[in-house]
A and B are shown apart, each in its own frame.
Chain A
Amino acid sequence: MSGNRESTLNGVLVLAGVMTAWEIASRGEFVPPLLFPATSKVLGTFFALVSSGEIPAQILSSLRRAAAGYLMAATIFIPLGVVIGLFERVERALEVVVETLRPIPPPVVVPVSVLFFGLGDGMKIFVIFFSSAWPILLNTIDGVKNIDPVLARTARTFGLSRRQAIVKVVLPAASPEIMTGLRISLAITLILVVISEMVGSTDGIGYFILDAQRRLKVDRMYAGMLSLALLGYLLNQLFLFASGCFLSWHRGMTGR
């Protein structure tokens, strides 16, 4: 969704307009400044909190949990998805269990996880693991099942062993779908870090934001949200960049 220079200018104008209007409304007390602190104040707090290292520390502890749950989900559910996609029998055997667990809205897993792991990191990591599992699993299965049958037969003709065929043919051919699953899960992971930190935590950016709200430090709350938005944006860009590098051969080969 990239626009030309003029449309970028328009967008910046709107942003600047909104920020100025907010600033004036807050300073002139057209809106309660307690609830809507001036833009300049929020930005000031944001930079102060970033340079004091407080926000980076909170983000780091959130990122650690996010990475643990997300990577665990990827290492378990990509291989599982490949197996399910390859063998219809396995798919049918696991289908009912998957379809039972999948519709559980991830937030309600938080209490279950608290029961098992207490309020520590384990609880959050499990919640993230559980909820980011489904997009990865389902997209991997789809990717593997939709492989061009010619590819599979070619691999067989060339006498590749099953293991070689999976590594050299199946995984690369399914990688765009796997990447889609990973990208959807990344967004979900970020949501669930914040939720689990809001419900039971003493650190992390989700806790930081809710805590600031409860103590009516509204400028800190907005500063936390701003950093979260930046984090979400950066992670997504990073992912797009990485998958772009990773999949460039694919686009070249298939012309997609």
Chain B
Amino acid sequence: MKPRRLNVSGFAVFTAALFFWEILSRTRPELQSYFPPPSGVLRALAELSVLREILRHLIETLGRFLSGYLIAAALAVGAGVILGYSRTAYSFFAAPIELCRPMPSVAIIPVAILTLGIGNAMMIAVTVYAAAWPILVNTIDGVRHIDRTLIDTGRTFGLGRWKILRRIALPAAAPHIATGLRVSLPIALILVTTAEMVVGASGLGFYILDEERSLRTTNMYAGVAAVALAGYSLNRLFVAVESRAMAWHRGASGKGSRERE
């Protein structure tokens, strides 16, 4: 990646769009319940009561997101390494995996409500369920495609099963695992916000839907802006952590950037 200069034309177009929106909204008041002027949205965000409420919901959403995502990562990487490493284990679970995976994960929400109620446990559980699939599948793939020489080398040096797994299999599969984790990130956010909308208790998903229903459009847009910012920051954070964690790999394998998801 080359160092980026400031994208002048990009920001110009962006500002122009906002400006056009502002003018349109100010000159045609009948549109304001749909398109409140961006300055109004900014003012709402600057208002302490609104900001405080948004932050409160944001923290709820992020808490659920993080617990779900991290649990999914731990479970799916663990299971994926086992299923990728042992062909026998994989042969038992391939069919169930292929059966469950194509169902759009949000359809699990009603089941989760039935069995876990409408609290945090349910929202975290559906996030774990949905986020686990890409991580699981990519980890299995990564471990299966490890260069056999690497493992044989480990064996030649007298490493035990556990050591081979930890010192060779995991690092070699790390790029695949990272891909799975990257794909899961927005999925986890989708599930958290959807669950919040469906059960409607707290969190930004609930807040945005609630403000729309109460026709407080300005606050709704402020909420959307907040969740977009959260999504963007999470993604940047992920990329930063990933490139630091994977720096050794690029060095070792000489592979450059990956495709975009």
Contact = CB atoms under 8 A, between A and B. Distances in A.
Contacts of B204: 108
Contact of A206 (B9, B87, B107): B107
Nearest to A233: B102
Which DSSP category, helix, strand, loop or mixed, fits chain B's interface?
Answer: helix
B212 interface: yes
B190 interface: yes
Given A97-B17, A103-B232, A195-B194, A14 B96 contact: yes
A228 B103 contact: yes
Nearest to B11: A96
Contacts of A12: 95
Nearest to A12: B95
Contacts of A60: none
A93 B104 contact: no
Interface stretch (B108-116, B155-163, B172-180): B108-116
A183 B113 CA distance: 30
B186 interface: yes
A213 B113 contact: yes
A94 B10 CA distance: 6
A35 B104 contact: no
B217 A115 contact: yes
Given A15-B95, A35-B114, A35-B115, A191 B10 contact: no
B205 interface: yes
B107 A194 contact: yes
Which DSSP category, helix, strand, loop or mixed, fits chain A's interface?
Answer: helix
Interface in A232-256: 232-233, 236
A110 B209 contact: yes
Interface residues of B, number: 63
Interface stretch (B40-48, B223-231, B241-249): B223-231
B107 A225 contact: yes
A89 interface: yes
B27 interface: no
A13 B235 CA distance: 41
A107 B91 contact: no
B30 interface: no
B34 A96 contact: no
Given A3-B91, A100-B228, A213-B113, A138 B260 contact: yes
Contact of A96 (B10, B99, B217, B227): B10
A129 B69 CA distance: 27
B230 to A, nearest CB: 8
B7 A229 contact: no
B198 interface: yes
Interface of A: 1, 3, 6-8, 10-15, 18, 35, 89, 92-97, 99-101, 103-112, 114-116, 135, 138-139, 142, 184, 187, 190-191, 193-195, 198-199, 206, 209-210, 212-213, 218, 221-222, 224-225, 228-229, 232-233, 236
Interface of B: 7, 9-14, 17, 33-34, 87-88, 90-96, 98-100, 102-111, 113-115, 186, 189-190, 193-194, 197-198, 204-205, 208-209, 211-213, 217, 220-221, 223-224, 227-229, 231-232, 235, 259-261
10 contacts: A14-B93, A15-B96, A94-B13, A97-B14, A100-B228, A103-B231, A104-B224, A138-B260, A191-B105, A213-B113
Closest 3 CB pairs of A and B: A11-B95, A7-B91, A232-B102
